[in-house]
Structure 1
Amino acid sequence: MESCSVVVTIYVNPCAGAACMNGGTCTDLGNGNFTCNCISVYEGVTCETYNPCLLEPCVNGECYILMYVATCNCTGTGYDGTACEQDIEDPELICPGPYSYNTPLGKANITLEDFAVNVTVSDNSGETLSTTSDFPANGVFVIGETKITYEAQDSTGNMESCCVVVTIYVNPCSGAACMNGGTCTDLGNGNFTCNCISVYEGATCETYNPCLLEPCVNGECYILMYVATCNCTGTGYDGTACEQDVEDPELICPGPYSYNTPLGEANITLEDFAVNVTVSDNSGETLSTTSDFPANGVFVIGETKITYEAQDSTGNMESCCVVVTIYVNPCAGAACMNGGTCTDLGNGNFTCNCISVYEGVTCETYNPCLLEPCVNGECYILMYVATCNCTGTGYDGTACEQDVEDPELICPGPYSYNTPLGEANITLEDFAVNVTVSDNSGETLSTTSDFPANGVFVIGETKITYEAQDSTGNMESCCVVVTIYVNPCAGAACMNGGTCTDLGNGNFTCNCISVYEGATCETCVF
């Protein structure tokens, strides 16, 4: 058998009571919900709020409530009146320009029949307004400045105007604006440009300049007595137009180079030896070189100079030398002594790799200390034997291998304390002594001591001995001195009612009452 439950919920009708206030009409939405349809000047879930602005009393502007009355704020609207219904703002006109023109050649004025001015008009009322103007009759403008006034008026009589300025210039090309046969071009606004003939330049072609014909093949042109003249200085050229090449090519030879002969050979063959000679010429030509490079690339011992030459198309010639030096191989003979191995470094140079007890450029020096026989100390040679100097090391023996130096201990202190009031001793359980320990062996050593049992110190001086021993049995010690004083305030240290303060180390101070003074308040001041 199977069963299920059905849940039925009964709500009180929300419209049964006065759910909606101020004359609002209630509508039951079911499930205990409702909505209110409020009359004109009320709003809210239950029509509880009075708002006369709901009647939209303002034609323009913003409505707000003042003393329960709907009031209109006209600020920034261009309107006035109780409901912001009166238009008090002029239209807005925006005139373009200014404009400028040149008169036609030979004319004293200009006709601009198709001249159109796009004046922008707007009004806060949203009306579409037209403009009127005093545009010149037939579009004829005389030389000088003309101001055209445009006006617009809205339906309530508000009016505004703006001006378009048109300036007419005399055509600059009407006269002889360009000199020496130059051609004038009218650019408008009273401006012009001149296209000059070949040997003239300037704004009005007023300057004679024969260098404009570019008579110089090379060099720099200048005017001498109204004649174009060529300055060839620094160009490598000569002649009236700097047309004659008089400069040799430029060659840059690399080097010098040097090589060693192979072992047992009297010369060396450098078949693949390549020399990159740099060649340039003021003419811009690509030039090749010739040389007296040795036949088959065989170079003998000593210095050889190879001459490279280059010649341009006008016969100018230059040369340079590459120097190649051949050295006898230094490892060909017994360069390295005492069994050392020779390495050829080139250029007649070499290096020797010496066996264990020899050193020097050619392994000529016997030095048994190179075997590093001393464990500690410094090695020196005595009668051709490596000997160890152990002085100042803390070691002894043939190789300074025996540690003979005690550790080093540094004890702090001394320390001093007062006993507590009424006590004959003091317990210093947390008293810690930082003893510094070091050893020539580099070992990390610990210390032992005869620190008093339970940290109890009696009155008087106690010496605590600290000891350390290294792995070879060398030992050292030091003492920490702790002195305990009887508390001076334990007795009647301060007289005549003075208060005693313990300063430590057996010292004290007295705080005297008003009529006494002195170290123990022993003196009456009255």
Structure 2
Amino acid sequence: MALVVFALLALLSTAAAQQGQVCSAKLDLMLVLDGSGSVGDADFAKTLQFAENVVNAFDIGTDLTRVGVVQYSDNPTMEFNMGDHADKASTIAAVNNIQYQNGGTATGAALEFARANANWRGAPVPKVMIVVTDGKSGDDVTAAAQALAGEGVAVYAIGVGNYDLPELQQIANGNNNNVIELQDYNALTAAIDQIAGQVCIDIDECQSQPCQNGGQCINGDNRYDCQCPAGFTGTNCEFRPTTPAPTCNAPLDLFFVLDGSGSVTGANFDKVKQFTKNVVNAFDISATATRVGVVQYSDSNTLEFNLGDHADKPSTLAAIDSIVYQGGGTTTGSALEFARVNAAWRGGSVPKVMIVVTDGKSTDSVTASANNLAANGVDVYAIGVGNYDGAELLDIAAGNQNNVIELTDFNALNAEIEQIAQTVCVVAQTPNPCLSNPCQNGGQCVSINGGQAYQCRCPTGFVGPNCGTPNYCVNHQCQNGAACVNQPGQNGYTCNCLPGWEGPHCETPSCQNTVSLCGNSPGWPDVGLCSETYVLAACPEFCGTCSCPTNPECKNGGSRGNDPNLYGEDTCDCVCVGSWTGPTCEVCSLSCANGGVVDQGSCTCVCADGWDGPTCSDVCADSSTLCGANPGWPTVESCQVDYVQAACHAFCGVCTPVVVNPPVALGSCQAPVDLVFVIDGSGSVGATEFEKAKTFMKNVVSQFVISAADTKVGVIQYSSTVQEEFSLNAHFTKTAVLNAIDNIVYMGGGTLTGAAITYMKDNSQWRPGVAKIAIVVTDGKSSDDVGPPSSAAQQTGITMHAIGVGANVDQTELSQIASTSQYVTTVADYDALDAQMAQLTASVCDGANDQCELPVLQYQTCVQQALSTCYSQTGAREVSRVRRSADTPITLRRQAEVHVMVSSQGLLAVVAVTVGNVFLAAIAFTFKMKQLTKAKSNGSA
């Protein structure tokens, strides 16, 4: 990419040289310069030299190029604005007076600050911004970059050193030609001629879209030409000398509601005004014929002029011309209500028509306001241009699709004039079907299909075409998702129950109370008591059990169960094992690391050479310094001989046909576990990434057997506050837990990880004698201390796992949170979380099942029987792999004394080898080889 950019720059430098290295174009140029702490004093001085060189590359003047500078770190500063300095000398002096800020990196805030405060000139002067940054921003740049593009600003993104390329592309709004990658700040100053030349050549005179009425703009050298469609003339195709369409002379109140928000831009708002004038030209304007009113809106509403304020066409057109574009946000719902309340509608049979033009989605709801307009007999046309929301347009038009017009851009507006004018004129000339008041019981009549028909909006308690039928479902008592069916002929309703529920109101689970003895006498079991273990055996006899369907069949080892202690909850889902997921356990969700490939048939990883474990995340070669340390000692190659493999692992730890790490059967964790997720919901996570964190939790939960007696799950979300989403005793089935995770709402706010850990320790409903495990997921550094809370939690027996997501995590903090360094996991982003699911689940399962079978000392290597793991006397887990085969050494993180134990058939009881004692180790190995060789020759090996 960088080579391509420099090749392009070399070409552009030739063009710039032909101009004497000075660009004479007329433009507004804003420089946004990174002044964060990672830049440093020396490199910021080079940034200022770059800015000075940019100024020198352009003709500076009030009617030529004007330059402004924003410096930013944690906060942006307007060093000077465009127009503050009228010549090159004063502009350069202002650049040299800039003082380096130091601080963090908030590029998104800087872009928005520059957009909102830049003293841009109007069209057709091009707007250009050059952003220089040396690293990834601490905030999001997307919204600010899109707002700049919406206002016609061409943004160039220059990354220096440790830049983030996807972020540069977002800043430049996906225009890779405007992205420049540089190795260091020396390259920045060296590339000034090329950069200035690229900006000068890239100026698009058509960027402001000056051509009206569908004219096509042709970019030229500091000029543009408009190719006008048939029937239009003028520099900008603004004149239409041809004979206009016949004028509509029907009485009509016509009200325009025009979007004047910042995303429209001044140039496009001029096109909206021209569209409004062209529509007005199609009507006979007078006090007795058509009257026109206009509201402009953004995040405030302005009544530009009301119906009846102008009694003829010339004064109405002049009033439209005088409207000033206001800019701001987009609150279409408020504008509709403002227009409805303030419009000077005529009474009687005069039709009321409103034309709404908008270019984007409203920040408030339009539904209530649109319904009020329909109830008042106003026929609303919704015109969406560019980035409109189709569903919102339909709401504005009160559900009448015929009144919705969708356009790609503002140039297409005027092509719709004759159709809109003709349609509105037909409405004005058609008798209103609502004049006969066809709606009963207070229903509101709405004219639809261009006045050809009507629709009744019924009040609460009535339904039907004319609101004549009582609706008994208004006050229904149907429960548990049952559908109410109105039965007016019987003065009532019925409830259609969902599967698993019964009773008049679907209030009773169909698997409960199937035996009359259930709760028949004090002390007898009832449904509530069936969750207690000491009455489980008797419950089916007295209360009955739930039966599960056999189809569709559970696949890949999955099964359904009839659990008598879970009355009223869905226990008939397929319970999957391993990494199988899906409604019938048909989907393999396993991810393999380090080049491993998923075997879809068995849902296991086939690892590449040098990698091992369920997800190919364990390094398995040359794990001991003794490997090949002396002639005749085993090496990686010699370990391929089958009869020396057993001893080889003590010295080389290589991957061979001997199964060193058999796959962990995820979901087969039989010991009970209390598992609590502590999930970061702070503002830096974002709603989209938080949904991925929820998916990760669900995938982990799917690997365990969830019940009141097995694994129980709780979730705590935290930001500036701590919130328990659900406790360990809230849900006792996998389906209920997964649904509860789905219902979690992202909080946003600060980051108080320490407070969240303390809350988890003190408030979680831990079971005595059950493994307590907490998984903390965070994307940044906490604002409070995590060390003491994490230590306190571990001292109460809670095993702490820490997962850090993204580039802003603090490794020291993660180490403080986790019980051991093995329980620290870092991933690049939330998309990478699921790749750690299998390993994390195995660790959680081990924490519940395993005990060290040998009395080992801290920092020792022990050899154990199959499927066991070791813990040091301090309680810290020192084993790097989760499973071992028989007689396989488990190598600890530090070199230490080695104890080797062979199987019960072994000829060598114990060989103690101190690392570095080559002589004793050689004897041990030689003896072992002889015994194994002898056994092989006797056919016993």
TM-score of the pair, normalised by structure 2: 0.15
Structure with more of its chain in helix, by fraction: 2
Q: Which structure's CA Rg is the greater one?
A: 1
TM-score of the pair, normalised by structure 1: 0.24
Structure with more of its chain in strand, by fraction: 1
